[in-house]
Amino acid sequence: DMFSEKETTLLEAIAMAGGFSDAAHMNGTRVIRTENGKEKVMSIRVSDITKKGLKGKDIPVQSGDIIFVPESFF
């Protein structure tokens, strides 16, 4: 059935990888995706998803996506 292959969202993927570290700058999260041979970088403010409830920003990740979470310096 069409629901057996559920998409994994950005936050689910981060959770599966062990979650955000204490030093993570969550709002600096970027998803790097290659489409048609071109690299596309999407910046995601995680607090918009977690604190503001904007679920549409929790995008489905695709095979080959690179999720980058920089460290915070504060």
72 is written with which tokens?
């915070």
Phi and psi angles of residue 40, each rounded to the nearest 5 degrees, phi first: -120, 130
* Single pTM value for the model: 0.83
**Cβ–Cβ under 8 Å, residues 74 and 22:** no
Closest among 4, 13, 26 to 60, alpha carbons compared: 13
Render each residue's pLDDT in the chain as its tens digit; 74 residues.
Answer: 445 568 899 999 999 999 999 999 999 999 999 999 999 999 999 999 999 999 999 999 999 999 999 998 76
Residues whose CB is less than 8 angstroms from the CB of residue 62 and which lie 6 or more positions away in sequence, other chains included: 33
CB 44, CB 30: distance < 8 Å:
yes
